Amino acid sequence: MAYKILIIDDDPDIALASRLILESAGYQVVEARSSVEGLAAVKSEKPNLIILDVMMESATAGFQTALALRSPEEDSEYKDYRTIPIVMLTAVHETMPYRFAPDENYLPVDVFLDKPVDAGKLLPAVEKLLTEQHA
């Protein structure tokens, strides 16, 4: 069965480009247009991997989503989903002067990829994370 990938991105063009790239490689794709929709979709769709945008409802919405998903709290409502690999798509990673994470060395995602989305970078990253996850 094809792996299911959830794209959480408020930019419909980026989401479409990512979808077309992933579908060309045989993945099943579902989309969410905000972090709120995205968190709900994590529960309802139970994806194998998440592609996450940074700036959505707020400048750091994507990071907050990732932090919620990866929360180490025992009673976290997302505790069943905290091991889902996350690829963060960003055009702002390098220019953001402030830290998002609770501690500066901790990043709640597995891979950062710069936009524009490129099949040559996205597919190997996705494939590597899924292989590691299901090894």
| Contact window for another protein (CB under 8 A) among 27-35, 38-46, 76-84, 115-123 | 115-123
When asked if residue 57 is in the footprint of another protein (CB under 8 A), the reply is: no
Task: Give percent helix, percent strand, percent coil of the chain, each to the nearest 5.
Answer: 40, 20, 45
Q: How many angstroms separate the CA atoms of 51 and 62, rounded?
A: 10
Handedness of CA 70, 75, 80, 5 (dihedral sign): negative
In the complex, least distance from residue 55 CB atom to another protein, rounded to whole angstroms: 6
Binding of residue 105 to another protein (CB under 8 A): yes
Measured CA to CA, the distance from residue 76 to residue 84 in angstroms comes to 15
- Could you tell me the smallest distance in angstroms from the CB atom of residue 58 to another protein? 11
Q: Which residues bind another protein (CB under 8 A)?
A: 11, 13-14, 16-18, 20-21, 24, 55, 59, 91-92, 94-98, 105, 115-120
